[in-house]
Structures are given as C-alpha cells and as structure tokens.
Amino acid sequence: MSTLEVKNLHVTIEGKKILKGVNLVMHTGEIHAIMGPNGTGKSTLSETIMGNPAYKVTQGEIFLDGKDILKMPVDERARAGLFLAMQYPAEIPGITNAEFIRGAINARRPQDDQLPIRQFLKDLDQAMEVLDMTEEMAERHLNEGFSGGEKKRNEILQLMMIKPKFAILDEIDSGLDIDALKVVSRGVNQMRGPEFGSLIITHYQRLLNYIVPDVVHVMMDGRIVKQGGPELAKKLEDEGYAGLRDELGLDIKLVDEDA
C-alpha cells in the first residue's frame, strides 16, 4: 500500500495566496473526491502535487510513501507514481499518441527491460476498446485537434496504460456527453484495486454515481472545510455551497454570489 500525504500546504500564484493550508491523506485502494466552488484552488492543488513549476509552495509538505516530493521535478514525480489527468491537456504535434504513451511507459522501466512493442500494442488495443476509441486515435499527433471529449478520453487512456499509484483526475467529466461519461468511468473503475488510488475533482455529483468515492472532501477558499462519505456529495448537489458555508459559519465570498 502507498500513501500520499499533503500537509499544511500553502501555494501562491503571481503573489496571490491560493492554497491556505490544505491537509489530505490518501492510500492506494481508495478513491477520494474533491468538490468545491469555482476558483477555490482545486486545480492549484492538483498541479502542485504533480509539480507544475508555475505554482510556488510557500509552506507545507507533500509526501509520497514518506518521501518529500516537493524538491522533485515533475518527470521524477511521474516516474515515482503520480499522474494528473489535466483539466486542459496540451496539444503536441511532434509525436503520435501511441509513440508518446510507449515512451512514457518505457521512461519508468529500466533500459534493459523496455516493454516489448507487441505487448504494448496488445495492451493499447484493449484499453482503447474499453474507452470506445477508434484505432485511428493512436496514430494521430498527441491531442492535436482532438475535441474536448476526445482529450478527456485520451487522458484516461494514458492513465490505463501508465498505471500510476495515484491519479488525480481534474474535471475529467467536464465536456463529456452522458455516454462518454460512462465510458470514462468504466476506464477508471477498471483501474480500481489495492495498487491504485485516485483523487477526483468534479463539480457534478453525477460522476460519483459511476465512480463511487470512499471519501468526499469539500474545498473552499484554499482549504478543505469538510469531509464525509458519498452522501456529502448528494447533500451539496441539493443544498449548494452557500448552505454548507453558512452551516460551518465560514466567512467566504463565493464567485457567483451577489454582493
């Protein structure tokens, strides 16, 4: 079992304080969900765990199996077992999707034990079938010209192929039609098991019907303000964030609230 631990994390972007002391512990075998209003720092948390150099940690620590990862560059964290399905994946015209995924898999294997191409193609075929992706998507340039939904599927394809210890899925459901939502959930559920943990960021309780979480966290104004089981997500869906805020007696202004 692996453990990912975020301790009192503070993050600033361009001088602005975004995360103000986030604490979170998760283990492989568990699925956690984070919900929270727009602009509260969910993507900031994901990017900081992954190691995006644009985000500055001013305080706090992140441990993967007891090892402080804050000093590790993003590629090293990836090879250590972290994965982030991004809210806005980049388009890279220099490499085909299949070539890229194979490169990513082999980057975490020793030189003398690279994944044989046949095995790779077999695995790729299987994963693409689960995700209802056409073969042609493998030969296209990485994300180039992919539709919003295709990009999301492609993030999950990479997840299934790379098999990280911990995957953060940032709004993997946004822009997906209902069928695609089921397909993508099928992919994630297939990963579920004692060797895999996931942190799912979403605005919609619907996704959590397909991927049922063990723990739900609510984030507001750069902090995790409440934790609970799947029922917490349902409650939020019904009552909204203002209700929870008032219940907790927090002094936070929500983006879509009139002054």
Partner 1 sequence: MTIDLQKYPAIAAYAAQTNEPAWFSELRVKALQAAADLELPTFGKIRYQRWPVQIKRPLAYQASDPQLLSDVKLQSAKHIIIQLGQTTVRQQGLTELAAQGVIVCDWQTALKEHPELIKKYFMQKAIKYDQDLLTAQHVAGVTSGLLVYVPKNTVLNEPITSYFIQDATQKQDCVHHVILLADENSEVSYLENLTTIGDQPTTASIVVEVIAKAGSHVKFASVDRLGAKTTTYLNRRGHLDDDAKIDWSMGMMNDGNIVGDFDSDLIGSGSHAEVKVIAISTGRQVQGIDTRVTNYGKHTIGHILQHGVILSRSSLIFNGIGHIIKGAKGANAQQESRILMLSKKAKGDANPVLLIDDNDVQAGHAASIGRVNAEQLYYLMSRGLPQKIAERLVIRGFLGPVLEVIPSDSIREQLRDTIERKLVNGQRDE
* Residues that bind ligand ATP in the complex, under the rule CB under 6 A: 13-14, 18, 36, 38-44, 54
Is residue 199 within 8 Å of 164, Cβ to Cβ? no
User: Does 93 participate in binding partner 1 (rule CB under 8 A)?
Assistant: yes
User: Does 40 participate in binding Mg ion (rule CB under 5 A)?
Assistant: no
Quote the CA–CA distance of 159 and 123 in Å, as a whole number. Answer: 12
Is residue 211 within 8 Å of 185, Cβ to Cβ? yes
Quote the CA–CA distance of 149 and 80 in Å, as a whole number. Answer: 28
From residue 237, alpha-carbon distances to 37, 144, 227, 247 in Å are 12, 35, 15, 15
User: Does 202 participate in binding Mg ion (rule CB under 5 A)?
Assistant: no
Q: Which is nearer to partner 1, 34 or 84 (CB)?
A: 84
> 201 Cβ partners below 8 Å, 6+ apart?
33, 34, 35, 42, 43, 46, 168, 169, 170, 171
User: Does 73 participate in binding partner 1 (rule CB under 8 A)?
Assistant: yes
Q: Of partner 1, Mg ion, ligand ATP, none, which one does residue 18 interact with (CB within 5 to 8 Å by kind)?
A: ligand ATP
Q: Which of residues 3-62 bind partner 1 (CB under 8 A)?
A: 50-54
User: Does 75 participate in binding partner 1 (rule CB under 8 A)?
Assistant: yes
Q: Of ligand ATP, partner 1, Mg ion, none, which one does residue 41 interact with (CB within 5 to 8 Å by kind)?
A: ligand ATP
Q: Which residues bind Mg ion (CB under 5 A)?
A: 42-43
